[in-house]
Structure formats: structure tokens, C-alpha cells
Structure 1
Amino acid sequence: MSAHPAGPITIHPVEGKHDKREFVELAFRLNRGDPAWVPPLKGEVFALLTPGKNPWFEHGKAQFFLARRDGRTVGRISAHIDFLALEQPAEQGMGPGTGNWGLIEAEDAETAHALIVAAEDWLRSQGMHRALGPLSISIWDEPGLLVEGFDTPPTIMLGHNSPLYRAWIEAEGYRPVKKLINYAVEIIDGFPPLVNRIVAAGERNERIRIRRVDKRRFDAEARLIMGILNDAWSDNWGFVPLTDSEIAYIGKKLKDIVFEDLIRVAEVDGEAVAFMIVLPNINELLIDMDGSLLPFNWARLLWWLRKPKSRRLRVPLMGVVKRLQNSRMASTLAFMMIEYIRRDGVAHYGAQQGDIGWVLDDNQGMNAVAEAIDATVNRVYQLYDKPLA
């Protein structure tokens, strides 16, 4: 972070390609000295910010801002409104009048203050009366501010930020509203005996079938899984339904890192009722690519994708249809999927550790599963809110 500022800070709406490039590049400059920060692929970040590429913009609008001082870019922030989030029940965390901000990067507290004020002013101008953040950009992207777990790089699709940001955000009057927990679990030697007994009992149950996804039917499998997800998560805090175009977009984005033996669908009496997605940790490769596939990183990436070796695997999503939640069947299916993927992850990918998250701090079912497999918390993300008077 910089020394004491010289000139005044000015805030500028992002306009045109040059500003957008500044917006993306700033994160690289401010975080380059952090050994735990994983540079994202710049093409992916540009796509996230661009209407026509990111289908979130079909039901949302955003304004991006840059902070400048003495002609230098010293900060950035996004302010955005998701019209589907506005339609959700207020008691579930989103709801009418709730706007969001995110993607914050700042050299110092003064810059962070100016950026947050600009984001709040824009949200007020759009009729919002509450700010919830940070979200980058939707709840399905990278929600929350990292508040615990700064010492190790995140796994795929998890965020990372400076530990300084927490105090700067809280100084603006934001109060913690929800914690998102990420768990780490050692997987080489398997799980405790209780879990193994549950899996064995499930295997004797003729009603249950746990199958791998079929990548030849990728689009249909993606729709099936996301259909279960929209049902399974619909009562969760912060839930916003995924649209058909978002499901297609996520499927296309993940297709290259989807492997059949790392994704399971659980069927009961022939009906698909649960799923678990596990991804190899491409961040182990990205951490020294500096956000670019050129000149030779694309070849390294293609080589890795042919047969990835991944010390850590991440479980970004799993779900059981709502009508089975909190049942013995739900926990049986969860443990069976976890165990089957664990075996294949160790045997085929050289995996030593699993990452499970994020999990809402009040999701009793998933937190109980994590406890049963001896998982420990390794990262905590915090979401904040504030009334916009």
C-alpha cells in the first residue's frame, strides 16, 4: 500500500476500454506482493464485467468506478443491482431495495472511503435503501470479504483480499450480516469409521444409485444439476435463482475443468435428487501465470487439462432436493458422493486435501457433514450490510 497521499482523490465512472483495462489491471498491481493472491485470467475478469458476455447483466445493472490521485489509479469498486435479488424475500438476505457493491481494491483507507461513498451514492440514485456487500458481482461469483485465512492461496473460484480492507469497510458503518465458511479436510487416508458405516449402509440400499456425470451429454447434465441446485438452495440466505442463460454460461466456463469421476449425481428410485461437483484446483497453475495465457501459458494449461494433478480439490457446489433435506437419506447420499469422489480424487489426481465451501455459517446440515469428516475451517468470508439513509 502507498505512503501518505499527496493530492486529492477523484472518483470517475468507468467509460470505455482504457478505463476498463485500468479497472482490471489495478488488482494485479496492488496484490502482486501478496504470495497468497492468485492472479485471475484477465480475459475472465473482462468477461465478468461486460454485458453481452456475462448473462448476469440480463437481470442486473452495474456501474464501475475508479479512484485517481495525482493522475494515478489508486482504487476501484463496482456498484450493482440484481433485479432477481430484489424479488427475493427480505428475510432471506436480499429483497426489495437492496443493492450491492464489490470488486473493491484500494491503496489506503481514504481511497476506500471515497469509493464506498461513490458506490452508495449510485445505489441511492437507483432507489436502493440498503447496501449489502462485497459481492463480485453476484452471490454465485465471489461473495464476501476474506476475514480469516490469509496465509494460504485460495482454491479455484474463491476470493482473496488484503487484510486491511476489513477495518476500512467497518469504519464506513457496515455491520457483519453473514459468514461464509470454507473447510479443509485431509482425504488421503479416508474418513472416520462412522462415515464408512453410513456409506456401506447406503450401498446395501437398492433404492440408491450414485453415478458419474456423462460428459457426452454435458448440456443435459448441467441443466439437471442446476435444476436440483435451484430447488435445493431456494430457501438459503442470499439465494438468487440461476437463469437458463447463466446455467449455460457456467457450464461452458467449467466444461474444460469438469471431469466425470469428480462429479456425482445421486438417484433415489430412479430420480435424480442430489449432486456434488468437485473441481481440480487450477489455481495451483494460475498462481504464477500473471493473468495471461501468452506467450506459453496456454500450452501449460492445455497440458495440465489433459490429465490434471491437483494437491487440493474443491467442492464448490452440492445440493439435495428440498423435500429430502434434514432426512437420513440426505446425509447418506452426501457421504456416499463425498467418499466416492474422495477415492477417485486420490487415485486419479494425486489429491491430498479437499476444500468444501463456501458454507453458510447457519447451514446446520453441511456444517454437520464437515464435522463428521473431521474438516477444519481454513477460510472465512464476511458479508456486510448498511442502511442507506
Structure 2
Amino acid sequence: MIDVTLVAGKGDLERFIRLGPELQRGDPAYVAPLLMERRQALSPKHNPLFAQAEIAFFLARRDGRVVGRISAQADRRTGETGHFGLLAAEDDREVFAALFRAAENWLRERGRTRILGPFDLSINEEIGVLVDGFETPPMLLMPHNPPSLPARIEAEGYTKAKDVFAYLFDNSTRPAWARRVEKRPLPPGVTLRPLDWKRYEADLAAVVDIFNDAWSGNWNFLPLEGADLDAMAKSMKPLIVPDFVQIAEVNGEPAAFGICLPNLNEAIRDLSGSLVPLGWAKLLWRLKVKGVSTARIPLMGVRRSVAKGATGAFLPMIIMSRLGNEAAKKGIRHIEMSWILEDNAPMRHFGQTMAGDPYKTYRIYEKALRA
């Protein structure tokens, strides 16, 4: 018998958080997230998503032993579509069936007629299930799961809603495309500058404003605003390198940006999620002194008013070239660009030009919730 219950209290929440790392401990490519970060991400006090959505966490037990977990999110901005996420369980169909039944019933009770996921916990956080590229570790804020997970989800009646891709390019030598871009003068009226540390909040607000405009037509887009911006500013600050944030201005107005983040997962890979007793010292040494050799570009955007012209087509290339150049100075040898929607033809072409075929594929699933 599988018993599924709502998480109740700090003890249950700690079991919920620790289950994922426990189940994947034997996977050499898996990187356990920092427990401190997970506690904050799943806390209404620290994650502004809780002000926009009802969120439930479920634990599955067999004979009193925790064997699975799932979350369900009813975001008031997503209409009749509910979300699931944070899925992890022993490889047992009965466990998965019980978890999905609990999440689906909870969403039905809140008037949701469709379920989409996984989103951990929103589309602006970790998304998708890894379906290709299991042999290499995930970059920061990217999921990693057992190869059996997609089939378990599909067995519960879920079908593909969308694939997203990750591209990995070699930053150890300047590629031909970058050398060509660097030889071209900037278009008239265009300037490119790094983030100004003295104006961190203002510059990040400009970046988010561009992001909300550039991505507004994207599939299932949810804007970043208000408390979302404050939370992002606080969480990203320890990882920000000013030269790794490039802002393009057109006639003095911010029009495009790109953000490259050092790969935190490389620095924490052997810490098993804990920063005590020596984890803090190791993490600070690796990030601030030794440095890491990998990084990820999670965000890039061009204002729609600029994107359609020749200048708009050129801005992502010059931003990417500048980010790669600055990253190389810090010893970054490989950079991941993710995630890229399968139907975003311009960005897929851009990724293909820089890196070849995607090296990882993630899938988002959907299912109709019938009464």
C-alpha cells in the first residue's frame, strides 16, 4: 500500500528536500543541490511565487518509509492550467501513480482542467525532465534525473508539450564566428557595457524590463516583476561577475542583454548539499579564488522594437562574443546556453552555429484533467 500525504511541518519538508539527493546518490553525473538553497526556495518567506500561487507538497510512503515526492502548483496567473514539479521517486509504477493521483486531484479541486510540468516551482525556475544527455553533470539551475523518469511520467497518461535544448560550446579558443563579429564595428548608436556594480539594482531592473518585453510572446511566459525582481537580485548577487553581464544600449537606452553565470554546480559537486563544516570555505575558494571552468548563459534578450532590424539581429552575436571573451579571461573553457525552446528557430540556429547539435534535451509534459 502506498500512502500519499501533504507535507506537514519542518520534519516532513526536510524529508521532501532530502529525498531527491538520496535517490540519485549513485548517479555519477548527479549534483546534489545545496540544502540551504532548497529550504529557501520552498519557503513562502523567501520565494515570492507563494504570493501568486497555492502550492502543495506531497510525500509517498510505503510501510512508513518515504519513497516519493511531488509538488502541485495552482498559479492564479495561469488560468485553468495547473503545474506539477519536484518529482522524485523509487522506480516503481505504483508510487508514481499514487503521487500523480494526489497532485491531479488537488488541482482538480482548484478548478484546473490541465496539468503541465515539471516546473520547480515555476517556468522561471528549473523546468523539464532530462530525456537526452544523461552522461554529463547538469549546469546550475538545470535538472538531472534518472533515465527511467520520462517513461514513468508517460505511463501516467502524460504526453510531450514542449522540448527545450541546451547547447555547449568550447570557449577555450576563439571560434571563427566570434572573430568575424569582433572585427565588425558596432552599429551606429549602439554601445556595449558591463553591469555597473554601483548601480546593481537599477541595471538588473533594466535587464528584467528587457526580458519581460523580449520574452512576452514566448510559450507559457510569466513576467518577472516586483518581489520576483527583488528575490532574483538577492539570489544572483553572489554569482554575478560584472563583466559577465553585458548590456547593449541603442541611442542611450538599454535594448539587449546577456547574462553568464559561473557554474555553481561545478563548485559544489562533492559537497553533498551541505556547507558545514568546511563547505563554505571550499565553495568560496572555488568561486572566488580558484575559479570554475564552466558557466551557463541562462538569460538573453533583445527588445522587440529592436529585434526585427539588422541591429537587433547583430546584438545577440556581439553580446555572446563579449561574454565568451570575458569568460575566457576568468578561465571558463565551456559555456552552456540554455534553455532554448524547440520552436525558437532563430535561437536554435544561433546555438547550432556556435556549438553544433544540442547536447542535452529536456521535456515538459501535459495532460488533460477530466472531472
Alpha-carbon separation, structure 2, partners of 1:111 and 1:325? 47
Alpha-carbon separation, structure 2, partners of 1:142 and 1:65? 19
**Identity across the alignment (%):** 38
Deviation at 1:327? 2.9
1:109 maps to which of 76, 93, 97: 93
Q: Following superposition of structure 1 onto structure 2, how do residues 125-144 of structure 1 map, counting pairs within 5 Å?
A: 125-144=109-128
- Residue 9 (structure 2) pairs with residue 22 (structure 1): no
Per the alignment, do residues 333 and 308 of structure 1 end up closer, same or farther by CA in structure 2, a change over 3 Å counting? Answer: farther
- Structure 2 counterpart of 1:263, which letter? V
Figure out how many residues of one structure are paired with residues of the other and give that number: 369
Deviation at 1:282? 1.2
Deviation at 1:125? 0.6
Q: Following superposition of structure 1 onto structure 2, how do residues 44-123 of structure 1 map, counting pairs within 5 Å?
A: 44-84=37-77, 86=78, 96-107=79-90, 108-123=92-107
Alpha-carbon separation, structure 2, partners of 1:120 and 1:232? 33
Alpha-carbon separation, structure 2, partners of 1:371 and 1:329? 21
- State TM-score, norm by structure 2: 0.97
Structure 1 SS opposite 2:71: strand
Structure-1 residue corresponding to 2:183: 200
Structure 1 SS opposite 2:347: helix
1:222-275 deviation line (CA, Å, top 9, x unaligned)? 111111101110000020111211111011001011001111000111111000
- Structure 2 counterpart of 1:38, which letter? V
Contact 1:39 1:287 in 2 (8 A): yes
Contact 2:30 2:137 in 1 (8 A): yes
**Further displaced range: 287-296 or 367-376:** 367-376
Contact 2:187 2:311 in 1 (8 A): no
Alpha-carbon separation, structure 1, partners of 2:292 and 2:312? 28
Per the alignment, do residues 307 and 269 of structure 1 end up closer, same or farther by CA in structure 2, a change over 3 Å counting? Answer: farther
Contact 1:199 1:335 in 2 (8 A): no
- Structure 2 counterpart of 1:332, which letter? F
Alpha-carbon separation, structure 1, partners of 2:98 and 2:332? 44
Alpha-carbon separation, structure 1, partners of 2:218 and 2:172? 32
Structure 1 SS opposite 2:139: coil
**Further displaced range: 55-64 or 304-313:** 304-313
Structure-2 residue corresponding to 1:164: 148
1:358 maps to which of 315, 339, 349: 339
Deviation at 1:372? 2.2
2:300 maps to which of 307, 310, 318: 318
Structure-2 residue corresponding to 1:286: 268
Structure-1 residue corresponding to 2:234: 252
1:192-239 deviation line (CA, Å, top 9, x unaligned)? 24x5334433x2433111100011211111111111101110000020
Structure-2 residue corresponding to 1:274: 256
- Residue 368 (structure 2) pairs with residue 387 (structure 1): yes
- Residue 353 (structure 2) pairs with residue 369 (structure 1): no
- Residue 204 (structure 2) pairs with residue 211 (structure 1): no
Structure-1 residue corresponding to 2:166: 182
Deviation at 1:74? 0.2
**Further displaced range: 109-118 or 272-281:** 109-118
Alpha-carbon separation, structure 2, partners of 1:376 and 1:311? 21
Structure 1 SS opposite 2:275: coil
- Structure 2 counterpart of 1:72, which letter? R
Q: CA RMSD in A?
A: 1.2
- State TM-score, norm by structure 1: 0.92
Which structure 1 residue ranges, 5 or more long, are not aligned? 1-7, 87-95
Structure-2 residue corresponding to 1:306: 288
1:67-115 deviation line (CA, Å, top 9, x unaligned)? 000110000000111112x2xxxxxxxxx20000010111022111110
Alpha-carbon separation, structure 1, partners of 2:257 and 2:356? 20
Deviation at 1:184? 0.6
Which structure 2 residue ranges, 5 or more long, are not aligned? none
Q: Following superposition of structure 1 onto structure 2, how do residues 2-41 of structure 1 map, counting pairs within 5 Å?
A: 8-41=1-34
Structure 2 SS opposite 1:376: coil
1:43 maps to which of 36, 42, 52: 36
Per the alignment, do residues 204 and 132 of structure 1 end up closer, same or farther by CA in structure 2, a change over 3 Å counting? Answer: closer
Structure-2 residue corresponding to 1:89: none
- Residue 139 (structure 2) pairs with residue 155 (structure 1): yes
Alpha-carbon separation, structure 1, partners of 2:12 and 2:214? 40
Alpha-carbon separation, structure 2, partners of 1:234 and 1:307? 38
